[in-house]
Structures are given as structure tokens and as C-alpha cells.
Chain A
Amino acid sequence: MGAGVWIWILLGLPTLFAGWCLVLRAPRQVLILVGVGGAAWGMVAGIAAWRLLGAGSATAAYGWLHVDALSAYHLFLLGLVQGASSVYAWGYFRSEVATGGLTAGQTRRFGGLWFGAAAAMSLVLLSNNLGLMWVGIEATTLLTAFLICLHVSPLSLEATWKYLVVCSVGVAFAFVGTLLVGASAQHLGLDPSEMLLWTRLRASAPHLAAGFMKLAFLFMLVGYGTKAGLAPLHSWLPDAHSQAPAPVSALFSGFMLNAAFYCVLRVLPLVEAATGDRGWGRDLLTALGLVSILVAAAFIVFQRDGKRLLAYSSVEHLGVIALGVGVGGVGVVAALWHALNHAVAKPLAFFAVGRLGKLYGTHDLGALAGAARRSVCWGAGFCGGLLVLIGVAPFAIFMSEFQVLRAAAEARAFEVVALFLVGTAIVFVGALRHVIGTAWGEACSAPAPEPVQAMDAGLVGGALLCLLVLGVWLPVPLANALSAAARVIGARP
């Protein structure tokens, strides 16, 4: 079986599941399909990523679809995040379906859009054509908008509206950038149907018109940066993450932001080669990364809402990833590794705060005081997840952030090192107080303690164990995949 077949499976399977969700009658059946089908889709994506990494690269549809190490690695992340979130969504919505809080129509809509989003994100990762990639990103915005207001309320509608307008207009700028890439390649005499193919552009990147390419990168950084939640373009992000149901927040934070940033990573080698590898694009990424870390730190200190806290933490971590790619060297590998660690830790924290929110009826961190004693499993998940996210050693996020820092020091960018340390220190102190409150705080409301269920304990325990193991030991296949993906982006010379 050729590697190209995997590409069609990756696009076809979620589309099939999405259609299947829409025709199922009972909401309980839809939930089972989301749980089981989502887990299966996650596994298929993981296996496909493994096979495609082994094959090196694969192409389908006359070169319009193409997979290399960078996209295969992101496919693995997508499968991981969406597989886990699907299993969690099954448990999360089960009580709502039983009590009628979620109607049959709403459940079908959730299932259809959930798998539709999976197909759109796969399209982003698989497309070799920059225009098709843009179509995929815009499709994720449109498909996920109504996931935010699954429960229609004034606040969720406000969040949905902001998300739709800010992301649609932002991503429209990325399309101008895509057109400018086409304009920069016009003098090369490529066939019009091949003009936007990334592989073609990469092969002739040093000959692209530098001025157009710079302009294109600026437009794409603003456009995809808006969708990736990089400050100061993040205005939609805390609202959408706080109002969406927890599984959706987990998918947004764990992978959708990375999918948008992946597009920036695709264009980076083009602009770098076109401008003579002087680090013009990388410096912009470094600056945007630092701004994101510092802005997020300022908001985290004063945050009272658990989900908004996690949302700003996503801004911070996307900032770390951008910074790592920006400083180059070992930082590129560290940034990709950081994306994996964040994709495990952030969904875990969202899972936990979502279930605690159901138990307490609020996400206010003051009201959640002492929650770890009421719900041992999810309380431990929230405290553990938050501790990992703020960078407690020896968990994986501490290690990857340390590598980013090392890369910055090796690049002799000491002002970057200083600002990065200031930002992460503020985040650490600001969020630690919430961890302590949730774990040992004086309980102000006391809902009935929740019994621990095997599936929940498996999700929490598995994620924490995974983060601990990754912190102390990097498996060889993963290390190989990381360095292969980093080679696609290219390092600062």
C-alpha cells in the first residue's frame, strides 16, 4: 500500500464520521460515535503519521496534497488531541444527554461539526497548495464557530460573534499574503496551476522576489497569527475558550492554534531563503513570541476565571513556540517538542476544569477552592495540569522551555533570555496561587463528592504520566521525528 493512500484515509474518515453523526437518530448513539469514532480517528492519524514519517514524504492529487516530516508530526498532534478530547466529550456530555440538557439536534450538530473540524484541520496539514491551506484554515473557523455556542446563551453568542468576525477578517489578510506569494513567484514562469505549490516554491525559494515575499510574510503573520492567538492579535481567544464547552476548548487550545501556526511555519523557510537567510522573518517571530508571553503573563496574574486563565496560558505557550522557532538552532526542535507537551498538558487542564465546572456550576477560581478534596480525580488533574503548564520541573514543559532558553542564550540574544524569564516568572507566581487555592483552599461551597471513574482516572493519570516521562526521557523515534520536522523549517545559519 502506497503512502499516498493514507492521505485519502485521513481526509475521508472524519468526513464519513461527520455525515454519519448527522443521520443517527438517538443522541446517545451520536455520543458513542463521537467517543469511539474519535478515538479511532486519533489512532488512525497517529499510525498514518508514523507511516508517513517512515516513508519520508508522500504526494497525492497531482501534487496538490503533500506530506513531509513537519506535516506528519502535526498530524500526530492532531490525532492525539482530538482522540483524547473525543473520549472526554463522550463522558462530558453523557449526563446532559440523559437529562435532556442537550437535545438530539444539538448533539447531531456537535458530532457533525466536531468531525468536520477534524477534516478541515487535516486538509490544512495535508495541502501542498498554499491557497488550499488557506481554505482549510477558514473552514476550521466556520465549522467550529457554532461549537462555541452549542448551548445558546448571551455570553456564548457574544464569544461566537467575536470569534467569527475577528478570525474571518484576520484570516482574510492571510489570503492577501497568499496572493503576494504568488506574485513573488510570477517571474519564475511556473505553470499557473503550480504557482502556489509549496514544494515548487521551496525548490526555487532563493529566486523569489524578496520585496513581495516580505510583504506576504507580514500579511500571513498577521492573518494566521490572529487565528493562532499570538498577542496582540489574541482578542477573540479568551472569550471563545471560556464560553465553549470544555472538549471544544481543549481542541482549540491543544491543536487548532497550532494548525494556524503551522501555516506560518510553512512560509518561514520561503521568506528566509528569499531574503538571503538573514533571519528577517525569524526576528519578527521572536518579537511576537515575547510580546505574547508578556501580555499573557499580565493577564494571568489578575485572572479569576479558570478557563480564561487557561486561555491566556495558551497565548503564553504559543508565544514560547514562536520564540523557539524565532531564535533558531536547537530552539526549533525545542519549539516543536513544546507543541507536543502543550498539546498534552492543556487539554488535561481544560478537561479537569470543565468537569469541576459541572460539579460546582461555575469556573470561578475562588468558588473552586478546595476542589481537589471534592473530586480527587479532576482536582488532581487541574492542579497537576496547571503545575505542568507553569513550568514545574521535571515535567516536560519545563524541559522544553529550558531548551528554548538555551537556544536563545546560544544565539547570544540575552535581552530575549531576560524578557522570557521575566514573563515565565510572572506566570509561575500568578498561577501558583490558584493551584494552592484549588488544592488546599478553604471550601466555600460543598457539592457532593464525585466518585472516581476508571475512564476519567485513565485520562488524567495517562496525561500526567506522559508529561513526566517526556520530561526525563525523550524516546528515540520522537527525537528523530522532531529533528526531521525541524529540518523542514530550517535553522538559523
Chain B
Amino acid sequence: MSPGAGVEAVLALVVITDLLLLGSSRLRSCIRVVAVQGIMVSLLPLFLHGGEGAARAWALTAGGVAVKGAVFPLVLLRVLREAGVHREVEPFVGHTLSVLVGASALVAALWVETHLHLPATAAGPLAVPVGLATMLIGLFVIVSRRKAITQVLGYIVVENGIYAVGVALVGGVPLLVELGVLLDVFVAVFIMSIAAYHISREFDHIDVDQLDRLRG
């Protein structure tokens, strides 16, 4: 399999996980879908830079798969269990409409990409629009879902999108910076999970639309 085909397969899977996330109604399956997406995105450097600087690519992939594919789902599933929340997503926007929004985000990202005049990169023409669409879909998940956990998932999806854009746009961000970013994202998700757990203890729910007493 040529590297290009591998990248395209990974990107297609990222798009599929985007749409699956928008369409699924169970929090547990949402967490799993985002974990699969995290693993897919983490594989990108391996396909793109497997030849030169292979150690760097392997380190990034190993770190990404461990954090996004294993630690995040474990932490989030644990919060789900401890908080005893209802397992449904309870979106403000229905699932069918959400999937349509996701599809339009993809179209919009493709349209933007054709107008950006990006230099040709090893990642091929699809990585940047898929990353942009994933960012938009992550933002949409954050604003359109009611549970605190789904906002954390949205944040992870935004980060996945940014990661894809970054890998495609500038292959050579120094390893130390990449690892620092990964550490920050890891700690962010960890802290948000703790905060969500406290919220569930204090309020008996984790519905963020009811966090509206501070205003003005």
C-alpha cells in the first residue's frame, strides 16, 4: 500500500467517525467513536513521515494512541459511571439535522480549501479540509449538546482536527512542542473530567444548559 492510499484511508475513517459521533445517541458509544478517531489521527505522522525522522513519527504516534485511544476513553467512561448520568446525549439539535450540519461542514471546508491556494504537501489535498471539517464539527458538538461530557468530547474532536491540519500543513513542528501540546490536551481533558465529576456531585446532573446562574 502506498503512503498516499494509507493517508486517504485514515482521513476517510476520520470523516466517518465525525458523522457517527453526530448520529449516535448513547454517550458510551460517542466516547468510543472519539477514541477511534483519536487513534486514526495519531496514525497520520506514521504514514507521512515514516521514512525520514522515523523515530519522531513513532514517538508521536505511540503517545497519541496511548493518550487519545486509551487514557481518554477510560477517564471519560469512569466519570460516566461515577456520576451516574443518564446515558443519552440529549442534544438541542436532533441527530438527523446534526448529521446534515456535519455534511455541510465538510462541504464548506472543501470549498475553503480550494480558495486557500495551499502549497502541495505530502499529505495530499484532503488532509486540510478533513481537519477543518473536524474542527467545525467539534465546535458544533460543544454548542449543540447538553451534557458536560459531550463538551469534553467536542473539545477532543476540535483538537483532533487541529492535529490533522497541523500534520498536513507543517510536517515539521518540533517534537518537544508536539509532546507539550499532547500533554496540555491530556491534562485539559483530565481536568475537565474532574470538573464534570464535581458538577455532577454538586448539582445531581451534568446538564450545562442549567449552568446559567451567573449572568450580567
Contact = CB atoms under 8 A, between A and B. Distances in A.
Interface of A: 129, 131-132, 134-135, 138-139, 141-142, 145-146, 149, 152-155, 157-162, 164-165, 168-169, 172, 175-176, 179-180, 182-183, 186-187, 192-193, 195-196, 211, 238-239, 242-243, 299, 302-303, 308
19 contacts: A135-B181, A138-B181, A138-B184, A142-B187, A154-B213, A157-B198, A162-B214, A175-B162, A179-B170, A179-B173, A182-B169, A183-B118, A183-B170, A186-B170, A195-B172, A195-B173, A196-B177, A238-B216, A239-B214
B169 A135 contact: no
A195 B183 CA distance: 21
| Chain B: interface size category | 35 or more
A129 B191 contact: no
B199 interface: yes
A243 B214 contact: yes
Contacts, number: 125
B93 to A, nearest CB: 18
A375 B196 CA distance: 39
A48 B158 CA distance: 39
A138 B188 contact: yes
B172 A192 contact: yes
A168 B195 CA distance: 14
B119 interface: yes
Given A132-B177, A157-B202, A164-B195, A179 B166 contact: yes
Contacts of B216: 238, 299, 302-303, 308
Interface of B: 117-119, 135, 139, 142, 148, 151, 155, 158-159, 162, 165-166, 169-174, 176-177, 180-181, 183-184, 187-188, 191-192, 194-196, 198-199, 202-203, 208, 211, 213-214, 216
Nearest to A242: B214
Most buried by B among A131, A155, A187, A308: A131
Contacts of B181: 131, 134-135, 138, 175
Contacts of B148: 161
Contacts of B173: 131, 179, 182, 192, 195-196
B192 A165 contact: yes
Nearest to A168: B188
A142 B180 contact: no
A176 B135 CA distance: 10
A59 B187 CA distance: 29
Contact of B180 (A131, A169, A192, A299): A131
Given A142-B184, A172-B158, A299-B216, A161 B191 contact: no
A129 B177 contact: yes
B199 A157 contact: yes
A19 B187 CA distance: 18
A158 B207 CA distance: 11
A158 B180 contact: no
Given A160-B195, A161-B195, A153 B165 contact: no
Contact of B170 (A139, A146, A153, A195): A195
Contacts of A193: 172, 174
Contacts of A182: 169-170, 173
Q: Which 9 A-B pairs have the closest CB atoms?
A: A192-B172, A131-B177, A135-B180, A182-B170, A158-B211, A239-B214, A138-B184, A179-B166, A183-B169
A164 B139 CA distance: 15
A149 B32 CA distance: 30
A302 B215 CA distance: 12
A187 B120 CA distance: 12
A160 B148 CA distance: 12
A351 B158 CA distance: 38
A152 B198 CA distance: 8
B6 to A, nearest CB: 22
A334 B181 CA distance: 35
Contacts of B214: 155, 158-159, 162, 238-239, 242-243
A87 B194 CA distance: 30
Contacts of A186: 119, 170
A226 to B, nearest CB: 13
A146 to B, nearest CB: 7
